[in-house]
Structure 1
Amino acid sequence: MNSVFPIGLSRRFHQLASLPYFYRLSGPLALWLAVPGALLAAYSVFAGLFLVPPDYQQGDAFRILYIHVPSAWLSLFGYTSMAIAGVVALVWRLKLAEIYIVAAAPVGASFTLVALVTGSIWGKPMWGAWWVWDARLTSELILLFLYLGIVALHRAIETPRTAARACALLAVVGVINVPIIHYSVVWWHTLHQGATVQLTGQSHMETNMLVPLLLGALGFTLVYGWLVLWGMRVQLLWRERRSRWVARMLTDD
């Protein structure tokens, strides 16, 4: 029976699922993500803090959004990608999907923490308090607990594959919180402002403010990819440390 995919594309998927092939590919790819990601993120933060004009309503307090918005975006993107990897790990039992979840969890937790802290810094002058039990903030805090739960679950179970599958299950179940976070400002009365940047429709920002923010979101995303790839490489070497290909690679080096 002929494959649904072209032969070349099918071979490429099989190569990506190969642990030695992924390890060789991920090293150079991580560096290609790191350099432009760091440059774009640095430019965005610098432009947000020093170059763009003050907001006509929020004044200089809005500048923290150049860190907050990309971090909040990655908190949702990271967990959603982990849930997708969780489905792949549970259904097709691919080791790379399991490794991705384990490597992405601490990175996603870090960006979620940054989003919460910068949101509190922004909220103090806007709301008069560092923290309120707002629907958006509360659901984002639950997301941080889900990330930390996956990290703790992986460390609590000694068998790597059993731990990874348990983490995959938690990632899939917990993803229900992602649309709750995204639509919380629509579904409930909330102090948190609505979306400033629209994927469809007109964004509520001037172009000179919007462009650095979008470049920052791209840069932060590339940095996320770099950190996750390096984390996957570490997890991969640890899990496969007794395999022949790791021994052969260490011998060759």
Structure 2
Amino acid sequence: MVKETAVEVIDLTKTFKGKTALQKVSFTVKAGEMVALVGASGSGKSTLLRHLNGLERGESGVVKVFDCSLQSEGKFHSKIRQLRSNMGCIFQQFNLVKRLTVIENVLVGNLGQISLARSAIRYFTKAEKIQALSALERVGILDQAYKRASLLSGGQQQRVAIARCLVQGARIILADEPIASLDPESARKVMELLGELNQENGITVISSLHQVQMVQRYFSRAVALKQGEVIFDGSTSDLNQNRLNQLYGSAAQELVLSGHGE
């Protein structure tokens, strides 16, 4: 059985103030794949992720989500909000509303499916609350549901963000350096959770990561960027020290310093 294409990027190009951020980036991710974006600082990983979910508009090229063009040649699809609902986003700084409770933050994942009037007063049905509690149980923090988000540890906050993606019904999770702010044990738990959601729920995961050790531990495929260009797309087992030195020169050291999980 041939898996459908979850994300397809064709010749995506972006410049900021005359400087190239993405240069004819092309790659395809099948539904159910787990792919790491690798690269030294300034390589274009975060910029690419923002284009995949329509937070940034490219100057040329195409981004397709489940065979529908999210953006093409500098223009967004007229139903971009609907297309975005397929994708949940996880950020390095969690992007939670700290004054709200954990369950309220998770319920925000439903905002694309409820009326503006209900979202304005944060009114959610019993069924929606049960769904949110189920998501929190899935990520292992059900006991934190009614605490303010600001009281949680970094690892717990990141799991709230993942639960929000589950309530959203995301078929794709885009994670931008999701463990960069976490201690090694919290980082391990978050990466294992993303792996479980990929394996057990079939959720496609595309994540930028800084440490190649973590990439090799949790991913079988990597797309490596340098100055906005794809310079490698293949098995993470091929990203050994020699290959990294060939690709990045002295900057390779930035990717292999001992860190999370080591």
Fold in common (TM above 0.5):
no
Which structure would you say has the larger Rg? 1
Q: Smaller-chain TM-score range?
A: under 0.3
TM-score between both structures, scaled by the size of structure 1 = 0.26
Task: Pick 1 or 2: higher relative contact order, CA cutoff 8 A, min separation 6.
Answer: 1
Q: Which has the higher helix share?
A: 1
